[in-house]
Amino acid sequence: MKADLVIRNARVVDHDGEFHGGVAVRGGVIVTIGSDEALPEATREIDAEGRVLMPGIIDPHCHLGVKYPYPEDMQTETAAAASGGVTTVLLYIRNLKESYLPFYAERKGLGEENAVIDFGFHFGIQREEHIAEIPEIVAKTGVKSFKCYFGYEPDNPIGIVPATDGWVYAAMRIIAGIPGGVINVHCENTQIASWIKNEMKRTGRQDLGAYTESRPAFCEVETIRRMIFLAEKTGCPLHLVHTSVGMGPVLAAEARSHGMDVTVETCPHYLTRTCYDEDLDMRAKISPPLRDRSELEGLWRGIKNGTVYSLGTDHVPFFPKKGEDLWNELPGVVSFPWELPLMLHFGVHQRGISLSRLVQLNSYHPARRFGLWPKKGAMQAGSDADLVLVDLNEERTVEHTGKGTCIYEGWKLKGWPVLTVARGEIVYENGAVSEDYGRGRCVTLPA
């Protein structure tokens, strides 16, 4: 039977190796993977010309609908993601009401009306009722991933309700008994950071480094240690999100050596930017903050030795930042279109990480951690045809015309996606993104 799409003559890279050949797609899934000769004829055939074909990126960490309307973000930002080779995004979303069930139904419905690519959810614990509701949430939504936030004071400009250790412990006890369940924690010692911030504010400093120095690396390290301790006591799988300190991967590896399930995510900005870069100002404020060069290098060690588990962008499109007051500035940047080029340029070309390692970080591991594998994150027959074709030698300059703050504007990067396929449909080609809004489907579903 004829396939819908065949991509031939590619350097096909998966999480555990590579070969020369291609894939055939029918009905939105991969039906054949192998040598060019083994592939059937197709309605649309693409000669990859030796370029790299990888599983589509799963970005497990973004925030949409925070400042701009959620339906609008699901259009503009999933389109931006598709241009960067991203085929699935997982949103950390927060609900201040008692129950997540109506919220899930609303967000799933609006998402499927507007998204260009597939999406799913993690739920933020924002009140005690959310903890008691966890078993029902799992049963009725399929969401098994829950987040607790430290590092935010009660009057923070985003409206996040900060967690207590009691919340974390109570949630961990429940999640530990849920197959595939995981708790995600934003690790920063809120009380220490608040104390130092008040001291720093009295100096009058408004530079980006002042923000980092007001919540130093040890605040994150301390909370990582505390969360690992609680995870050990409860037996709960723990995912350390947007880790900005080099000790994070070290501590997680130590915990895993004792049989614990602890994984580390970091973000492209912590691997490519520091708080003392001369071209950055308060608009590059991120939570946790950009750090210094030593922490950046520590994270790269984790990338190379396997102790960093996965990557996420922490993409959040805020309104244009005012650049008026460091302490009231909204924290967050956008990264969807550039995560892959950044990792190809700085990771593959400059630091020599393998393409298979990049697939682990960007696709295979996020899919495994959040229950999407082998439907997502795999290059095998029966998996969704989520693919990205990459030209390792193409050089382009970062240009940002969308929402939010970009901290890479004007950078010349080597290695870019040239084609994105999501569930068998081409959503990015020849520099243009599909405007088929509403083709995306929710991937966090009840069993």
Residue ranges, the chain, pLDDT below 70 = none
pLDDT at 240: 99
pLDDT at 439: 98
pLDDT at 155: 85
Q: How far apart are CA 428 and CA 388, in angstroms?
A: 9
Instruction: List pLDDT tens digits, range 182-196.
Output: 999 999 999 999 999
Instruction: List pLDDT tens digits, range 236-256.
Output: 999 999 999 999 999 999 999
Domains of the chain: 3-52+385-433 (2.30.40.10), 56-369 (3.20.20.140)
285 torsion bin: left (phi>0), alpha (psi -120 to 50), beta (else): beta
Q: How far apart are CA 411 and CA 406, in angstroms?
A: 11
DSSP 202-260: TTT--SHHHHHHHS-HHHHHHHHHHHHHHHHHHT--EEETT--STHHHHHHHHHHHTT-
pLDDT at 157: 85
Residues of the chain with pLDDT > 90: what percent?
Answer: 98
pLDDT at 145: 98
